[in-house]
Amino acid sequence: MQTHADKANLTTGNDWASTDDIDGELSPGDTCIAELGRPIYTTCCPTGTTDFFSEKNYDDEDVYEGCCNAVSATLSALTTGLSRHPPKFLILSGSLRSESYSRRLAVEVGRILASYGAQVKLFDPKGLPLFSQDIDPKSDPKVKELRNLTRWCEGMVWISPEVHGNYSAVFKNQVDWMPLTEGAIRPTQGKTLAVMQVEAGSQSFNTVNNLRVLGRWMRMVVVPNQASIPRAYEEFNEDGTMKDGPHRGRVLDVVDEIFKFTLLLRDQQQYLTQRYSEKKAEAERHLKETAKVADKSVLRSLNSPIIIDVRSEKEVTLCKGGEAIKGSIQVPLNVNNEPQSTHQTTAEEFREKLKQAGVDLRVLPKGETSFITHCTSGHTSYIGRGNRAAALLRDMGFEKAYNGGSPDEIRAAIGEEASVEYQKTDAYSDPTFWSQTGF
């Protein structure tokens, strides 16, 4: 049986890490990876779907589905089209002094971003109360303004003077007022961030480095470049603009970077920053929902239902979930054998697959026709294909569409005495049935 390491191309003899020769031998690390083989997966794959829950393979050996298709699945999950609207930036400065150098630098950064065509907002921290949980955020206009701007922006630039080797209290107070959670995520999650500092004396990087830590804590994507402006009083013209020179050049480097990173990442923010624990919880919740099987009494009440088997041909051959029900129609749900994590079958695609199998939904009375769909089991590790198929049929107007779980579960629900009814539905899989009935 091919191991996960084999599938991941870790046993090919190529050692990219330890030698420049692409035909090099396996390093000890590669050998260890190959020998350890498959890790136990729950939902570690970047797609974060229930396709990666372990189950048994066809030889009754433990098999762990996982990251073999993570590249294609991840690329499919990423947004292919980029938004065309101007990027939106919020700039925060860490001083209350109207002519402070951190504010002058913030204005300079805003001017550069605006010249690139970006939308820019510079928050004024004057009037923002000292953070206190006794203050209702919805009652203070400055807090509401800051929080609205936090939600509005797609990227931020943080600029603070260095005070006692760190960012200022004025700056930290603004971050403290940002909501940590709204629903399941932080409003800052996935947004891009650039950090800068100004000093009155010699150059230091304490503040920008600490701002990076703060940005990561807010789950933001901090760009690699940063700017530190020593003796800031020498770097600005009388009109407040920044003098041309190496320090302004560094500022431009950072602005260029945050601008490009924001354009590239803003459509991917939620996907890129979703954590394993969040994916696992969501996958387990989704699996629980899609594993639901209709009540036995509901299945028994259906009059001559059309039974749709959405298992793959291999699953049917190996009787995964039980032998095929006589009269059922096999319509594999997945398109081009791609799991639902890579491509979630649409209603139109499922309609066409049913039509090719001899079931033309356009001619069936929606209020009278009933369906029972099934996969390998009610609790399936493939995003509840039976439940997905029933949901698609309901989306297309067939309200009497239910997930029966597996063939064995359907038999247990309806009883062996219903086998005659299954034989009657045999006609549905015969293409001549539709012409004989006048359809």
Q: Tell me the two tokens of residue 360.
A: 């033309």
What CATH number has the domain spanning 293-436? 3.40.250.10
Residue 55 has pLDDT above 50, yes or no: no
Query: Above pLDDT 70, what percent of the chain?
Result: 71
Residue 65 has pLDDT above 50, yes or no: no
Q: Cβ distance 161 to 199 under 8 Å?
A: yes
Task: Look at residues 53, 78, 32 and name the one whose alpha carbon lies nearest to residue 384.
Answer: 53
Domain boundaries, the chain: 4-77, 88-272, 293-436
Look at residue 435 in the predicted model and tell me its pLDDT: 43
Residue 28's pLDDT band (cuts 50, 70, 90): low
Angle between helix 385-395 and helix 276-290 axes, rounded to 10 deg: 70
Average pLDDT estimate for 256-262: 95
Look at residue 24 in the predicted model and tell me its pLDDT: 54
Q: Determine phi and psi for 257, rounding to 5 degrees.
A: -70, -50
Q: What contacts 202, CB < 8 A, 6 or more positions away?
A: 230, 231
Look at residue 425 in the predicted model and tell me its pLDDT: 40
Per CATH, domain 88-272 is 3.90.1150.10: no
What's 237's DSSP letter?
A: -
What does the alpha-carbon distance between residue 410 and residue 350 come to, in Å, rounded to a whole number?
A: 22
What dihedral do alpha carbons 42, 44, 50, 52 form, nearest 10°? -70
Residue 173 has pLDDT above 50, yes or no: yes
What does the alpha-carbon distance between residue 210 and residue 158 come to, in Å, rounded to a whole number?
A: 11
Q: Which of 43-52, 161-170, 296-305 has the highest mean pLDDT?
A: 161-170
Q: Cβ distance 290 to 383 under 8 Å?
A: yes
What does the alpha-carbon distance between residue 212 and residue 232 come to, in Å, rounded to a whole number?
A: 21
Residue 152 has pLDDT above 70, yes or no: yes
Look at residue 1 in the predicted model and tell me its pLDDT: 39
Task: Look at residues 259, 183, 184, 188 and name the one whose alpha carbon lies nearest to residue 217.
Answer: 188
What does the alpha-carbon distance between residue 4 and residue 10 come to, in Å, rounded to a whole number?
A: 9
Residue 6's pLDDT band (cuts 50, 70, 90): very low
Residue 138 has pLDDT above 60, yes or no: yes
What does the alpha-carbon distance between residue 422 and residue 424 come to, in Å, rounded to a whole number?
A: 5
Average pLDDT estimate for 201-224: 92
Classified as helix, coil or strand, 156 is: strand
Q: Cβ distance 128 to 62 under 8 Å?
A: no
Average predicted confidence (pLDDT) for the chain: 78
Residue 332 has pLDDT above 50, yes or no: yes
Q: Tell me the two tokens of residue 9.
A: 């191309």
Instruction: Give pTM, 2 decimals.
Output: 0.61
Q: Tell me the two tokens of residue 141.
A: 């206009």
Residue 436 has pLDDT above 80, yes or no: no
Q: Cβ distance 153 to 119 under 8 Å?
A: no
Q: Cβ distance 74 to 47 under 8 Å?
A: yes
Average pLDDT estimate for 164-181: 91
Q: Tell me the two tokens of residue 339.
A: 């799991």
Ramachandran bin of 182, using left for φ above 0, alpha for ψ from -120 to 50, beta for the remaining angles: beta
Average pLDDT estimate for 127-151: 93
Classified as helix, coil or strand, 418 is: helix
pLDDT tens digits, 275-294:
777 777 776 676 666 667 88
Q: Tell me the two tokens of residue 351.
A: 């309609």
Q: Which of 32-46, 64-78, 82-96, 417-431 has the highest mean pLDDT?
A: 82-96
What does the alpha-carbon distance between residue 251 and residue 231 come to, in Å, rounded to a whole number?
A: 15
Q: Tell me the two tokens of residue 434.
A: 């539709």
Distinct helix (H) and strand (E) counts, the chain = 17, 11
